[in-house]
A and B are shown apart, each in its own frame.
Chain A
Amino acid sequence: MTQFRMGRRAALFGAATLPLFAVGGRAFGQGAPVVLGALPPLTGAGGPYGPAMLRAIQGVVEEANAAGGIRGRQIRVVAEDDQTNPDAGVRGTRKLIDVDRVSAVLGTWASAVTTAVAPLCWENRVPLFTVSGADSITQLPHQGYIFRTQPNSQLQIRTGTDWLLAKGARRVFHLAAQSPFAQSSQEVMTQRMRAAGGQVTGFIVYERDKTNFRSEIDQVMRSRSDTIMLNGYLPDTTILLRELFRAGFDGRKFTFAYAAPASVFQSLPNEVTNGLITFQPSPDVDSGAFKRLQSRFGNTEVDPYSAQTHDHAALAILAAAQTGDASGTAIRDNVRKISQGGGEKVDNVTDGLRAIAAGRAINFEGASGPVDFEPSGDISGTKFRFEQAENGRYKVLEIA
């Protein structure tokens, strides 16, 4: 009986959205809009990043529409909130794929969400563009439907360790929040340090919701390390930095940029943060694409995730324009044709669409980097940026 009640509601529900569906059904005809799905975290732990990620996507789509769209077809973005939760992400993806009939899903952030929605995407032949870093994501049997613009965590930690070695670090203490890459980070670090005559002096995995790290800090101090690697997230890293300062740690403090963004200067005094070194896959700050995105964002700083989702949208649009077919499979098959190789270099969708219309081969260079993909769907050739905190500001040490 209750089931019947829902059936009626569902029918009403269906009837109400039927016109939408009809439009979706005709999407393969002439002139109907191409729909791109965005699934950024608008609320939850990823909430600080999602809105900007979405804005970057919308900016690209507006630009592409102004340039005439995909062979005359306008592009529409439908956004759903993944709530930084796998369960909510799956429901949102269902809606994007089944109701909005999207050609691609862009901008998933948390690794757990990406892993949860990935099977839905490849089963329904919809490409998934993501900024999640967990190594396991591109190892899924995704048949080429996953494109990841974030370098995987192994590559990140390898780059960071090598940089530390080059700067003379020999005794590194590794303090990691429990995450998909805590253990693999440790393996990579141990192997790189040992090969260069250094040593990982200690390794502690802590629970990220902890508010007190007394015993961990005691162990760090006892180990007489010259460097500490803080492999965590913003809230715990903030506390750790304060406790390291109190304990009088005078070695090198090294962490991922997402664990200590500029907002850390508001919660910690300068003497605590001074000397902290962060590193991150660097958006290509000198590229035309990045500068254009920066001017569109105005005063807001462009974070690496927004630079990446900007590129997601551009890649999907240009790939669809390449064949004139906006199906998910066509996008999957054409992303590499427009993002790498010897074609004409373009850094925005307007030029890209024009060149494709003129029949020229293109190589899109995005705001996050050259966006070339390996067969696994992983990005290659990303640069890294190392910065040091100095009196409440980050100063770029080098981009390598």
Chain B
Amino acid sequence: MDAYIVAMLVFAGVYALMALGLNVIWGLAGMVNLGLVGFFGLGAYATALLTKNFLWPMPMGWAAGAAVAALAGGLMALIVARLRGDYLAIVTLGFAEVIRLVASNEVWLTNGTDGISGIPGPWRGQVSPQEFNLIFLGLVWAAVGVAFILLARISHSPFGRVLRAVREDEDVAAVAGKPVLWFKIRAFALGAAVLGFAGALYAHYNAYIAPEGFAPLLTIYIVLALTAGGVGAMRGAIVGALLVVLLLEGTRFLAQVIPGVSPVQKAALREGIIALSLILLLRFRPQGLIPERTRTRAKEAS
């Protein structure tokens, strides 16, 4: 049981990192990004290829994963600079699909739909599976901690305030003399870097990645995590990720104790419970569990 909880906390940590990354792009800068799994995948593939084929040390692989994703994020922001709302959502969703299709078709590079297996992990094989889990738990949550502190500071810095201004009204921000595009690019690159880093950690934890793992399902989980936790608040992202993993996993046990339910019904019930709880949450607490708080008070200004 404890091994299982540790493993799920590792997953929660990875999801929390992703939610944090998304929060910079969507929560702060207000750009809908449904392509987050694409950046996640870029990070995962970058580190997997570099550490496995070129024997790079793992920390450098992670850095490379974050860097590649950041670069792609910056480019992406440049391309979609004039898009907002639904249009932006569709383009980013398309971006993630492109990454997945490239990963499944460029067989020479990514080994196609077979995926890449045997990705090294820190001390994997030298320690027991449970110790490996614990090492990774520490690693992932340390990363979450660092990312949280950095992003929370950024969010309250002048940079973060400009991003919020851009989110609320681009034209006003531009009139105030802020180079909106440049801010957007930086926000996108920063968020994508965190996403790529999460992907890199994930690749080394699972030891195996394949294009199917980067399907939109994961994007939806993370978007839900952020919505549930509270868009804009960094703490909300972490709480939301924990909540989503708790929902995904807790429903296994919940459905198990209901008598007279066959495993097939259980599987359907699980998805039902997850959907229902999120609908209820959005209905009765649309601002999320931890709403965004800013130091400036809107009321006084008006």
Contact = CB atoms under 8 A, between A and B. Distances in A.
Pairing of A with B? yes
A115 B271 contact: no
A307 interface: no
Contacts of B1: 14, 17-18, 21, 98-99
Summarize B's interface: helix, strand, loop or mixed: helix
B281 interface: no
Give the interface residue-count category, chain A: 35 or more
Contacts of A159: none
Given A9-B246, A42-B263, 17 more contacts: A2-B235, A13-B253, A42-B267, A43-B268, A54-B264, A87-B217, A88-B217, A91-B11, A91-B249, A98-B3, A98-B4, A98-B7, A124-B129, A141-B118, A179-B113, A180-B112, A180-B113
B273 interface: no
Contact of A183 (B7, B107, B264): B107
Interface string A110-127: 111001100110011000
A14 B2 contact: yes
Interface of B: 1-5, 7-9, 11-12, 101, 104-105, 107, 112-115, 117-118, 129, 141, 206-208, 210, 212-213, 215, 217-218, 235, 238-239, 242, 246, 248-250, 252-253, 263-264, 266-268, 270-271
A116 B220 CA distance: 21
Contacts of B207: 119
Contact of A6 (B4, B107, B242): B242
Contacts of A50: 264
A137 to B, nearest CB: 9
A136 B114 contact: yes
Given A51-B264, A98-B4, A112-B212, A90 B113 contact: no
Given A42-B263, A94-B4, A136-B117, A112 B210 contact: yes
B136 to A, nearest CB: 13
A50 B266 CA distance: 13
A116 B268 contact: no
Contact of A81 (B12, B235, B250, B263): B263
Interface of A: 2-3, 5-6, 9-10, 13-14, 16-18, 21, 38, 42-43, 50-51, 54, 79-81, 83, 85-88, 90-91, 94-95, 97-99, 110-112, 115-116, 119-120, 123-124, 134, 136, 140-141, 178-180, 182-183, 205, 207
Contacts of B117: 115, 119, 136, 140
A90 B212 CA distance: 13
B262 to A, nearest CB: 9
Contacts of A123: 129
Contacts of B246: 6, 9
Contact of A178 (B105, B206, B208, B253): B105
List 8 A-B pairs, minimum CB-CB distance, nearest first. Answer: A98-B4, A79-B263, A81-B267, A42-B267, A98-B3, A180-B114, A112-B212, A112-B210
A119 B208 contact: yes
B4 A116 contact: no
A10 B113 CA distance: 36
Contacts of B213: 85-87, 112, 116
7 contacts: A21-B1, A43-B268, A85-B217, A91-B249, A116-B115, A180-B112, A182-B112
A2 B238 contact: yes
A205 B112 CA distance: 12
B123 to A, nearest CB: 13
Contact of B112 (A5, A99, A119, A183): A183
Contact of A38 (B113, B249, B252, B263): B263
Contacts of B218: 87
A92 to B, nearest CB: 8
A4 to B, nearest CB: 11
Nearest to B202: A87
B195 to A, nearest CB: 15
Contacts of A43: 267-268, 271
Contacts of B12: 6
A140 B114 CA distance: 12
A207 B101 contact: yes
A180 B212 CA distance: 12
Contact of A94 (B7, B115, B208, B238): B7
Contacts of B11: 91
Among A5, A9, A134, A180, max chain B CB count under 10 A is at A180
Given A94-B8, A95-B4, A180-B113, A116 B105 contact: no
Given A6-B242, A115-B117, A178-B112, A86 B7 contact: no
B115 A17 contact: no
Contacts of A116: 115, 206, 208, 210, 213
Nearest to B121: A119
Contacts of B250: 13
A10 B9 contact: yes
Nearest to B268: A43
Contacts of A99: 1, 4
A218 to B, nearest CB: 21
A205 B105 contact: yes
A140 to B, nearest CB: 6
A88 B270 CA distance: 13
B239 A115 contact: no
Nearest to B238: A2
Contacts of A205: 105
A16 B206 contact: no
B146 to A, nearest CB: 14
Contacts of B268: 42-43
A210 to B, nearest CB: 11
Contacts of A86: 206, 208, 210, 212-213
A110 to B, nearest CB: 7
Contacts of A88: 217
B242 to A, nearest CB: 5
Among B7, B215, B250, max chain A CB count under 10 A is at B7
Contacts of B112: 178, 180, 182-183
B115 to A, nearest CB: 6
Contacts of A16: 253
Contact of A2 (B129, B217, B242): B242
B113 A178 contact: yes
Contact of B264 (A42, A111, A134): A42
B115 A115 contact: yes
